[in-house]
Amino acid sequence: MPDLADVAAALADRTRARMLEELLGGPPLSAGALAVRVGVAPSTVSGHLRKLEAAGLVTIASVGRTREARLAGPHVAEALEALANIAGDTARPIGLKAVNAREAMREARSCYDHLAGRAGVALADQLEDHGALESRDGVFVVPPQAARYYRERFDFDPTRLHTRRPLVRACTDWTERRPHVAGALGKALLDALLADGSLKRRNDGRALNVTRDFLSDDRRSAAA
């Protein structure tokens, strides 16, 4: 079992930190895909992955002839998001491509298995406006009467989300400095928005494409 020093040592490398940031997107990535995204050789990525696995930060599984890595669980994603909030958004993008990529991340991105960025914060605000989410001293709570709203608007029942994770958690967004929805509810919301085409994953990172105004009251009818 790794101790705090082991975890800190694994994180104290810019390449490994970038790899973890890419894995925050949720889906597993091969060493080759990580190498392209981070900009290093695949052999270098493999060595870094072994250190991250030993520290309990990632898991690696064989899929055919490919070995794929993913974060070890939502607890790792939550820790990384907390560290990102401490570090702040200090990187200054250089060039139009980098500026556009950063803006896309700010607009909508996946944070492990839930929605983050401006879209994630706006979704949390909308849920509160409709009485489907309450914020009590910085803690999100789903009122019992909100189940109907989620069934009609997102086609799932939060009372049936069987999981060992908390139903809902307020995750402070590192670009917006306000909370978005995490936990089992956050995952269910992102899954619903991806399933109906309101959001689409991109092939080049964590940013998500917003394909329709899923915050409008006629979202369900527009998706039909």
4-72: which CATH topology?
Arc Repressor Mutant, subunit A (1.10.10)
Q: Where are the domains of the chain?
A: 4-72, 94-223
Tens digit of pLDDT for each residue in 34-93?
Answer: 998 888 988 899 999 999 999 999 999 988 888 899 999 888 888 888 888 777 655 554
Condensed to tens digits (0 to 9), the pLDDT of residues 174-216 reads 888 899 999 999 999 999 999 999 999 887 778 899 988 877 7
pLDDT at 223 over 80: no
Cross-strand pairs, 59: 70
138 to 18, 68, 70, 141, 147: CA distances (angstroms):
29, 36, 29, 10, 21
116 strand-pairing partners? 109
Which pLDDT does position 71 carry in this prediction? Answer: 92
